[in-house]
């Protein structure tokens, strides 16, 4: 019962779709983040659910770890083969299997990326709303319960996945959920697999909920004197119930980066970027009400954009903020933190984080999906500078502790991977053990992404 024995069997099954090439192993063991490389022993490229089931049967029998791999855009080291084994690359299972126009649903394979899906949907009047920034695979987004800029209006992956096909550790194939919009028929297994990060099963098919492309879109941007004013303005907007489609905060440092990167000339102060979806009249009304609310918090320089090209320029600048921030310190590597707090504690959380970073030697612009109480600091660490890396780790750790102290969560959307594992006991207490018990029930041999998410056996 060894990894080698598994690979021999897998090679017979998959032929040249089992790769042991150095470049493949390195690519699948690397991460977009700062984690040490953890290459697998081999990479498999299955092309069907049946093949995934056969792979899992072999690996289960041989005790060979299996790590699902989508587009590799994780920021928390989800895909590293920390115990060796097989990287299961699902990028060849990337078909749009069915479009159910009347139900506003699509059935997709896990390797399909969200940008490709939305391209395919362009002529249908529908779109897939969840937008984490990166062109992630839909399977990966489901496995990490991803969200992003539009979650405040359209929800996270938890709200936009209706059904799954999942292969369990021993090779059993199950279906969860249905095409119905709701159900009270037993445990919500769909919800259990969303966010399970490949530790409970391999997602091989997803039924995703789509939304109608809005008839009209308008966008606005406005600046604030103080960060707390911007954040408090967001809280007021949410409480009053203005149906913002996106509402994004960027601090003054992010604005500086964005101006340099995207050629905008926003004043160097905290800003909100906001977008409204609806009819011509409703977006105009929403924008007007938004303007009134933020004016109470001292908003200045309120710029609106209803022409598509202006809107696109505005949101492209926001979407490129990560790259813009990297440009603040050429050659730096970014540690992107991710916490989420109750919105009543958001201003406090952002201010404390700002002060903590200001007292450190590391630049760390802050931005986030503040309508959900979720924000990130992009900690810019000199590449190879171990002392800065350690300092960034301490800043990130204090952010996680802060989130818990304020009644929130250590991750709003990036997930646990190996980056947040040390904080799971603090967030969940005895409930973390329960996660381990569920994991053990479904994967007793612990072959699915071992070393991640649950307590060690």
Q: Which of residues 404-433 bind a copy of itself (CB under 8 A)?
A: 407-416, 420, 424, 427-432
Collect all residues with Cβ–Cβ distance below 8 Å to 24 and sequence separation of at least 6.
Answer: 43
Q: Which of residues 273-312 bind a copy of itself (CB under 8 A)?
A: 279, 281-282, 285, 289
- Please state the closest distance from residue 236 (CB atom) to a copy of itself, in A: 10
Q: What does 268-327 look like in DSSP terms, one character per residue?
A: SS-EEEEEEEE-HHHHHHHHHHHHHHHHTTT-EEEEEE-SHHHHHHHHHHHHTHHHHHHT
Tokens of 417: 């991977």
Minimum CB separation of residue 304 from a copy of itself in Å reads 19
- Does residue number 239 form part of the binding site for a copy of itself (CB under 8 A)? yes
Minimum distance of a copy of itself from residue 169's CB (angstroms): 11
| Inter-residue contact 256 to 268 (CB < 8 Å) | yes
Query: For residue 284, how far is the Cα from the chain centroid?
Result: 31
For position 344 contacting a copy of itself by CB under 8 A, the verdict is yes
> Residues 353 to 382: which contact a copy of itself by CB under 8 A?
372-374
Regarding 386 and contact with a copy of itself (CB under 8 A), the answer is no
**What six digits make up the tokens of 340?**
């989420």
Closest CA to 152 of 276, 251, 254: 276
Determine the angle formed by the axes of helices 49-62 and 3-14, rounding to 10 degrees.
Answer: 160
Instruction: Please give the sequence-ordered ranges of beta strands (E in DSSP) within 27-139, or none if there are none.
Output: 42-44, 66-69, 86-89, 96-100, 105-108, 126-127
Structure tokens that stand for 39 in this block: 């290459």
How far CA 146 is from CA of 118, 137, 195, 255, in Å, comes to 16, 11, 8, 25
* Smallest gap from residue 321 Cβ to a copy of itself (A): 20
Q: Provide, rounded to whole angstroms, the least separation between the CB of residue 377 and a copy of itself.
A: 17
CB atoms within 10 A of CB 137: 29
Nearer to a copy of itself, 186 or 263 (CB): 186
Do 20 and 87 meet the contact criterion of CB atoms below 8 Å apart? no
Residues binding a copy of itself: what is the number (CB under 8 A)? 86
Give the nearer residue to a copy of itself in terms of CB position, either 6 or 453.
453
All residues at 6 or more sequence positions from 248 whose CB lies less than 8 Å from its CB, including other chains? 149, 272, 273, 274, 318, 367, 368, 369, 370
Residues 125-154 that bind a copy of itself (CB under 8 A): 144-147, 151
Query: Segment near a copy of itself (CB under 8 A), from 237-245, 296-304, 375-383, 385-393?
Result: 237-245
Q: Kindly identify the residues of this chain, within the stretch 435-454, that bind a copy of itself according to CB under 8 A.
A: 435, 437-438, 440-442, 453-454
Give the residue with the Cβ less far from a copy of itself, 100 or 307.
100
Do residues 336 and 376 lie in contact, with contact meaning Cβ atoms separated by under 8 Å?
yes
Of residues 41 through 100, those in contact with a copy of itself by CB under 8 A are 100
Is 398 one of the binding residues for a copy of itself (CB under 8 A)? no
> Under the criterion CB under 8 A, does residue 34 sit at the interface with a copy of itself?
no
Largest distance between two CA atoms of the chain: 68
In angstroms, what is the minimal distance from the CB of 433 to a copy of itself?
A: 8
Residue selected from 36, 174, 268, 390 as contacting a copy of itself according to rule CB under 8 A: 174
Nearer to a copy of itself, 30 or 192 (CB): 192
Distance of closest approach, residue 79 Cβ to a copy of itself, in angstroms: 15
Binding residue for a copy of itself, selected from 14, 44, 58, 235, defined by CB under 8 A: 235
Among 241, 331, 384, 456, the residue binding a copy of itself under the rule CB under 8 A is 241
Residues from 312 through 341 that contact a copy of itself (CB under 8 A): 338, 340-341
Q: How far is the CB of 45 from a copy of itself (least distance, A)?
A: 26
Instruction: Estimate to the nearest angstrom the gap between the alpha carbon of 204 and the chain centroid.
Output: 19
Minimum CB separation of residue 35 from a copy of itself in Å reads 17
């Amino acid at each position: 019962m060894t990894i080698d024995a598994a690979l021999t069997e897998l090679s017979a099954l998959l032929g040249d779709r089992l790769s042991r090439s150095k470049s493949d192993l390195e690519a699948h063991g690397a991460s977009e983040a700062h984690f040490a490389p953890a290459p697998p022993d081999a990479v498999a490229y299955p092309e069907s659910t049946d093949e995934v089931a056969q792979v899992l049967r072999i690996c289960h029998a041989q005790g060979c770890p299996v790590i699902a791999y989508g587009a590799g855009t994780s920021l928390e080291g989800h895909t590293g083969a920390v115990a060796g084994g097989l990287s299961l690359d699902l990028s060849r299972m990337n078909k749009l299997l069915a479009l159910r126009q009347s139900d506003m649903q699509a059935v997709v394979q896990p390797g399909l990326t969200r940008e490709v899906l939305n391209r395919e949907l362009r002529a249908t009047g529908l779109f897939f709303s969840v937008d984490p920034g990166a062109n992630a695979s839909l399977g990966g987004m489901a496995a990490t319960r991803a969200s992003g800029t539009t979650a405040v209006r359209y929800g996270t992956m938890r709200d936009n996945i209706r059904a799954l096909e999942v292969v369990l550790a021993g090779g059993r194939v199950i279906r969860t959920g249905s095409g119905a919009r709701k159900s009270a028929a037993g445990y919500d297994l769909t919800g259990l697999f969303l966010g399970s990060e490949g530790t409970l099963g391999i997602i091989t098919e997803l039924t995703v909920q789509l939304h109608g492309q809005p008839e009209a879109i308008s966008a606005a941007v406005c600046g604030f004197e103080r960060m707390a004013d911007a954040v408090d303005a967001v809280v007021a907007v949410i409480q009053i119930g203005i149906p913002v489609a996106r509402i994004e905060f960027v601090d003054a440092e992010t604005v500086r980066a964005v101006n340099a990167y995207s050629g905008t000339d926003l004043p160097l102060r905290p800003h909100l970027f906001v977008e409204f979806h609806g009819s011509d009249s409703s977006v105009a009304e929403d924008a007007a009400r938004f303007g009134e609310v933020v004016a109470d918090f001292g908003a200045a320089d309120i710029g609106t954009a209803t022409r598509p090209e202006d809107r696109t320029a505005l949101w492209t600048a926001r979407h490129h903020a990560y790259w813009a921030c990297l440009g603040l310190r050429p050659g730096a590597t970014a540690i992107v933190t991710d916490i989420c707090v109750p919105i009543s504690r958001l201003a406090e959380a952002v201010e404390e984080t700002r002060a903590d970073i200001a007292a450190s030697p590391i630049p760390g612009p802050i931005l986030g999906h503040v309508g959900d109480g979720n924000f990130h600091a992009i900690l810019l660490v000199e590449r190879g500078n171990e002392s800065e890396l350690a300092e960034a780790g301490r800043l990130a750790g204090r952010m996680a502790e802060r989130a818990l102290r304020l009644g929130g969560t250590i991750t709003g959307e990036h997930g646990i991977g190996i980056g947040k594992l040390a904080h799971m006991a603090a967030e969940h207490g005895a409930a973390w053990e329960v996660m381990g018990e569920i994991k053990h029930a479904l994967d007793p041999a612990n072959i699915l992404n071992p070393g991640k998410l649950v307590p060690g056996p």
